[in-house]
């Protein structure tokens, strides 16, 4: 499945190279990362400081950052 498929089926603004914040615990500051691709219906995201990308569900605990966000 492509990143276009993820965008249209989950209604998220995902794009390769896009920045996200992953925050599984809403009471703590999340981790930032970069979308590197897809694996089936999941996004591949390399969290800052990691060597490898992991699989993340496009709607679970992800915040998509825009170009004007200072956290990028």
Q: Domain residue spans in the chain?
A: 3-64
Give the predicted TM-score (pTM) of the model. 0.86
Is residue 58 packed enough to be buried (19+ CB in 10 Å), middle (13-18) or exposed (0-12)? buried
pLDDT at res. 26: 74
Fold entry, domain 3-64: SH3 type barrels. (2.30.30)
What is the C-alpha to C-alpha distance for residues 32 and 65, in angstroms, rounded to an integer?
9
Question: Could you read off the pLDDT of 8-43 as tens digits, one per residue?
Answer: 999 999 999 999 999 988 767 889 999 999 999 999
Asked if 9 and 53 count as a contact pair (C-beta separation under 8 A), the reply is no
Where do runs of H (alpha helix) occur along the chain? 3-10
Pairing mode of beta strands 54-56, 42-47: antiparallel
């Amino acid at each position: 499945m492509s990143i276009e498929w993820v965008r249209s089926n989950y209604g998220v603004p995902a794009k390769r190279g896009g920045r996200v914040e992953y925050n599984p615990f809403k009471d703590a500051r999340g981790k930032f990362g970069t979308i590197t691709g897809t694996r089936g219906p999941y996004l591949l995201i390399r969290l800052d400081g990691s060597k490898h990308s992991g699989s993340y569900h496009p709607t679970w605990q992800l915040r998509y950052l825009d170009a004007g966000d200072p956290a990028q």
